[in-house]
Amino acid sequence: MAKIKAKKKTSATSAVKKIKDAGLAKAQTSLAKLEKEAAVSKKRFDAAEAKAKAAVTKASSNATAASKKAKANAQAAAKKAAANLTAVNAKLKTAQAQAKAAAAAARAKAAAEAKKQAEEKRKADLAAKADADLQKAVKAFSTQWMRKRKKADAAKEAARIKKQKARERAAAQKAAAKAKAAAKKASIKARAAAKAKAARERAAARKAAAKARATAKAKAARERAAAKRAAAKAKASAAKSKSKAKSATKSAAPKKAAPKKAAAKKPAAKKSTAKKPAVKKAPAKKASAKKAPAKKVAAKKTAAKKAPAKRKKAAPKAAAPAQA
């Protein structure tokens, strides 16, 4: 009987790992299963063939019915194992062809996918390069545009500042003119007010001086009248005392002569005291009252108030000798 060799086992997992395809994976799995089954069938065929050879050898040496039957059974089992192995090998061959076709299809698909990815990558690279070039161009344009814009903005700002300074100068000149006019007006008003005030003060001073002179004159007149009255009273009292002294001397003359001289001296002393009244002081006070209008109104009033007090104090001194 011809020997049938089993096909060499191929690596299905490596292809699956390299090319990820569901059909290829399924074909490779089926091929691996058939390879295992072929190996098992080969072992069974080898065992059946060896058993048939042993049965043939035994039957040739001992041709009995049992040996002949054992030979026939062994040959039938070997024939059956050979047929099974042939069928498994046919299936294996078909599976190998399918796996080969699936691998080729997967490789083609992978190549197409790789080509597609490469094309997409190339397109993406081109798009990225175009985008980068666009960004670069935009940046250059924006830089140039910003430079021009900054220059224009600087010119506008300079013009604005110039106009603003001109407006500020005009406003300052206007304010200065206005302030000058206001100051002039205020100075004129102040001079007029000062003039009016000075006129009022002069009028008030004249009025106060006139009033003070009138008051001083009236007081001086009253003082002169009081001085005259005091002098008349003192003179009357002196005359009265003199007449009393004379009458006393007349009555005392027969008795003693010395007391007469003493009595004669006493009226002299009274006369000397009677000559001290404030009649002489009144003109001094009068003069001070006349000098008062030359001073301020307040000083005049105080001087006028003080003068009557001094005169009142002086009047009792003048009347004192008369009483004595």
pLDDT tens digit sequence for 20-47: 667 677 777 777 777 777 787 777 777 7
| Among 268, 267, 269, 284, residue whose Cα is nearest residue 227 | 284
| Among 224, 315, 320, residue whose Cα is nearest residue 273 | 320
Q: Are the C-beta atoms of residues 111 and 21 closer than 8 Å to each other?
A: no
What is the DSSP code string of 163-220? HHHHHHHHHHHHHHHHHHHHHHHHHHHHHHHHHHHHHHHHHHHHHHHHHHHHHHHHHH
Residue 216 burial by CB count (10 A; 0-12/13-18/19+): exposed, middle or buried?
buried
pLDDT confidence bin for 301, thresholds 50/70/90:
low
| Among 67, 45, 47, residue whose Cα is nearest residue 55 | 67
DSSP letter at 254 equals T
For the chain, the structural domain boundaries read 12-142
Q: State residue 298's pLDDT score.
A: 52
Instruction: Select the more confidently predicted residue: 18 or 267.
Output: 18
Whether 210 shows a pLDDT value over 50: the answer reads yes
Whether 315 shows a pLDDT value over 50: the answer reads no
Note the helical H segments in 253-280: 258-274
Q: Are the C-beta atoms of residues 284 and 223 closer than 8 Å to each other?
A: no
Please, what is the average pLDDT of the chain?
74
The percentage of the chain sitting over the pLDDT mark of 90, rounded to a whole number, equals 37
> Average pLDDT in the 178-204 region?
94
Instruction: Select the more confidently predicted residue: 228 or 302.
Output: 228
Q: What is the C-alpha separation between 320 and 284, in angstroms, rounded?
A: 21
pLDDT confidence bin for 319, thresholds 50/70/90:
very low
pTM: 0.31
| Among 98, 90, 88, residue whose Cα is nearest residue 38 | 88
110-146 pLDDT, tens per residue? 888 889 999 999 999 999 999 999 999 999 999 999 9
Angle at which helix 297-323 crosses helix 65-252, to 10 degrees, equals 40
Whether 293 shows a pLDDT value over 70: the answer reads no
Buried b (16+ CB within 10 A) or exposed e, 297-308: beebbebbeebe
pLDDT confidence bin for 198, thresholds 50/70/90:
very high
Whether 237 shows a pLDDT value over 70: the answer reads yes
58-111 pLDDT, tens per residue? 677 766 777 777 777 777 777 777 777 787 778 778 878 877 887 788 888 888
Instruction: Select the more confidently predicted residue: 299 or 228.
Output: 228
Q: What is the C-alpha separation between 215 and 228, in angstroms, rounded?
A: 20
Whether 178 shows a pLDDT value over 90: the answer reads yes
3-state DSSP assignment of residue 257: coil
